[in-house]
Structures are given as structure tokens and as C-alpha cells.
Amino acid sequence: MPIQQIDPYRWQLAKTGNMRVPGMIYASEKMMRGAGQEEPLKQVANVASLPGIVRASLAMPDMHWGYGFPIGGVAAFDWESGVISPGGVGYDINCGVRLARTSLKEDEVRGRLSDLVDALYREIPCGVGSTGAIKLSLAEEKKVLSQGSRWAVHQGFGEEGDLDHTEDGGCLPHADPSLVSDRALDRGRRQLGTLGSGNHFIEVGVVDEIFDAKTAAAFGLFKGQVTLMLHSGSRGFGYQVCDDFLAVMARHVRTLDFEIADRQLACAWIQSEPGQRYFHAMACAANYAWANRQVMLQLARNVFQKVFSIGPRNLGMNLVYDVCHNIAKREPHEVDGQKRWLCVHRKGATRSFPPGHPALCEAYRETGQPVIIPGDMGTASYVLAGTDRAMAETFGSTCHGAGRILSRTAAKKASRGRAINRELEDKGILVRWTGRATLAEEMPDAYKDVSEVVDVVHGAGISRKVARLRPMGVVKG
């Protein structure tokens, strides 16, 4: 493919064939030379051929192959004349990360770490098809889909302040539960407050490096501080919403007056009836995911309080921020000097809004949005902040994690004969997991070096480093 290096962090994929805009890839030279780049680059080009796309088809340094759109892909479409695609959001709608800080220090936790990780594993259900203690009636489930995190807080799972520190306040107001299938409702009724499987995790970490002291202080972070990170999404409910609408879109796209480069790019005009139905149903799944992470945060607070015999005030487990990775949102952006309403698809990409942005709560108006980038369970995770350059270049977006370099099948093959849990324990990291294949599929070698990924987005100026977190204990689904 005709790729030109623009600077050490940016690569342009020239507009050729049916592409309506160029591609822009954020990556280092080492990443671009790495194996497995051809397929996601093809997907960047395929996305660039969709009607109504604005400026460029973007890919972040954690880019890898996904369904239709690459994971790590960002694409914005004109709200009136563009398309919306479930493949640009993904199956796990609003898969996201929630970071909480505590008043505890590493030396206060290390001696009870095994008890803590065991209790988190025991009290927060995880694994394929896991169900929790919350049994929703149909009426209550529809309230969850409409209210998101606020429903959970009103049920006693958390505090009002949690909502301020959640993207969009933990609720997309255009959710319409009448548009989701009975099958989706059935799958979601017993899974609220559960972690799930795959790359979902609970991580007890410690702040081991501060890059920007002023911003870290505004985020409530200090060196040696113990943190909690949750990574999960909309569970079986979101999967079913995506699956239902992919079937709808696959039929619908055949009636439109343009060809798609890949059947996995099935889509509809945003303003069409199927396009609007998906947009409002997707919001239900996004709200389910926010409520799910809100419930798990409160369950984790309860675990910490019990293990350390400490009250909530002394524990100080306050939410830093909750960010989503897989979503399509209606947002205003400046394009060629004019404000336009766009439908921004972020698939395996994180919002990175700058200081002063009206979507941010008062606490972060001066710093920019907290950006949470988890790594693999054996290395590090990062906290960054949003920037004006992200707003100008990437529709206020940045990367979402390390990004896979090995498929799950390849990872299992590469891990044969190894005891991944022992390798992690040798690094001082305790891990608990469900399912024999989980650790093999999620071993550190299956992912890119998260520090290199973060260096790219920091060097490109689309988010800036604030702090690094080192894992102490991990629960994997």
C-alpha cells in the first residue's frame, strides 16, 4: 500500500481506488515494520471508502485486525449525509476502563495482597456467561438501559460524585429500550455487576512514576498510591444488540446505492430508520456497560473495606474517571474551519478531550480529560490527559491499550509448557483467573509493549503522559 511517513509518529495511507479520504496511522517505525500490519491497514483503507467519512480514516498505535473496522480505529461521518456501522463500534459496546484511587499505600497492602485478590475474585463474578447477585425484572432492566450509572447509584451502588467522573455522566440520553430484542433483554437480566471473560480484568495497582505532577495532583494521584482498575463492558446484552443489528444492516446495505469493500462494513445512513434504530439501541448497551462498571466499583469498595477493616472515608476509594472504548457518538467538531455535527466511531479508541471542553466535569476543565490506557497484566498501565491537538487531528481520540500482536490461538500455542501465573508471581504480581485458557490467551507476550504505544500518542501530542501504574494483583475473566 502507498504509505508515506509524515513524522516519527504519523503515517499517511494515500487515497487510492474507492477511498474517499486518506488513512492516517499513528505508529512508530518499529510498529509499522512489525508482523500483522497488512490486514488492519487494508481495513483502514476499506473504512475510508464509506460515504460521508470526514477528513481521514484513523488508526491508533494499538491497531490490530477487528471485525470490519480495525481495533484501534477512529472514523467520523457527517451526521446528515454519512453512515453508521456496528462494525465501527464492535460487539462489546462500551467496553471500557474505570480507574479508582485510594488513600492506601503499597506497603499497607502488600502483606494482605493475597487476601485482597482472593476476595475480589470471590465477590465479583467473572468468566464466560457469569451471572451476579442482581436479578433484574424486565421493568428494572429497562431502567438500567435508560439511566446507566445513575440507576446503579440510586440503588446504593456508589456515590453521586461517581457520575461526575464518568464519561457522559454514565448515561447516553437517547437510549430507547423498545428497540432491543427479547433475546438481548434476556441475556442482560442476570449479568449486571459481572466482569466477563477474555481481556476483561480487575487490577490492583500502584502509582510508580509521575510524569506531570500538577495534573497528577488534580487527578488525585501520588507516587506509591494503591489504585483499582476495572475493564469490562456490556456483557451478553451488548453482544446481542450488535449481532441483531449486524443482521439488519447486512440486509439493508444491499438496498443502498453504493458498494462496501467488506461485508463486515454493513451499515446504514445515519438518518435512515435502521441507522437511527441502531444508534438508539447501541445507547442502551452503552448505558448497561456503565451501570455494570458502577456496580463492580462498589463491590470492590466493599471488598477493600472488609479486607483492611477500614471505613469508606479512610479508604478514600474515589473514581478518577471511566472511559469507554467501543462506541459511536454524535459530537460537534471543527472541520476545515467550520463546526459540523459528526458521528464519531471509536473502536478500541479512547476519547481524549482537551482542557476547557464543555463535556468535562469541573474538576478536569483545566487539565483535560483523564485518559486510561491499560497494558497487559505483567507490565504497566498509564494515565494520560486529553489535548487540543487530539481535538484538531483525531476528533478528540487516542489509543485504548497495548493492542494484540498474537491471536488467542497463537497465544495458547506460544504458552505451551509455561506456567504464566508463576512467571507473573516472580514479578510480584498475583493473578486469579477463570477458565484454563484465559492466562494463555492473555499472557503479556500476546500484546505490544504498552510503553511504546503510549510514547507514540504522547510524542504525537494527541494525549500526554501523567502517571504510570504497576500491577500488584490481577483478576482475569
Any idea which residues carry the catalytic annotation? Answer: 400
* CA angle (340, 346, 350) in 5-degree steps: 105
Among candidates 40, 46, 78, which has minimal Cα distance to 61?
40
β strands within 80-237, DSSP E: 83-84, 96-105, 201-210, 225-232
Burial profile 314-353: b = 16 or more Cβ within 10 angstroms, e = fewer: ebbbbbbbbbbbbbbbebebeeeeeeeebbbbbbbbbbbb
Residue identified by cell 428494572 is 140
Pick the closest to residue 324 from 429, 167, 471 (CA basis).
167
Binning the chain into helix, strand and coil, the percentages to the nearest 5 are 40, 25, 35
Coil, strand or helix at 232: strand
Q: Which of left, alpha, beta for 166 (phi over 0: left; psi -120 to 50: alpha)?
A: beta
Phi, psi of 50 (to 5 degrees): -75, 145
How do 96-105 and 83-84 pair as beta strands?
A: unpaired
Give the separation between CA 414 and CA 372, rounded to whole angstroms: 29
